[in-house]
Homo-oligomer: A and B are copies of this chain.
Amino acid sequence: MDTQTVIAAASIISAGLTIAIGSIGPALGEGRALAQALNAIAQQPDEANTITRTLFVGLAMVESTAIYCFVVSMILIFANPFWNFFLEAAATQ
């Protein structure tokens, strides 16, 4: 296998696994927080506004770790500096 093939294959596999593994934690964490939020609303309907607001701010923080994974995955597919380097190297060769 030549250089470009190795880099492309590594990028494809790595991009897929990154977002796949990286979605397990946030999804479970958000599911847990969401479940507790609905429980809290049922216990204190009068505080639904405070609970919902805190929930979504918190979910945004949990989601951020999934975003990190998605960003890295996108970088590996569409803006991979190593891939660009080898393309330029091959072009100037």
- Partner of A16 from the list B57, B58, B73, B85 (CB cut-off 8 Å) is B73
Evaluate contact between A66 and B65: CB separation under 8 angstroms.
yes
Interface residues of A in 1-42 (CB under 8 A from B): 1-42
Interface size classification for chain A: 35 or more
CB distance from A28 to the nearest CB of B (A): 5
Interface: A92 (CB within 8 A): no
Evaluate contact between B20 and A69: CB separation under 8 angstroms.
yes
CB distance from A44 to the nearest CB of B (A): 4
CB distance from A32 to the nearest CB of B (A): 5
Assembly CA distance A73 to B73 (angstroms):
11
Evaluate contact between B45 and A47: CB separation under 8 angstroms.
yes
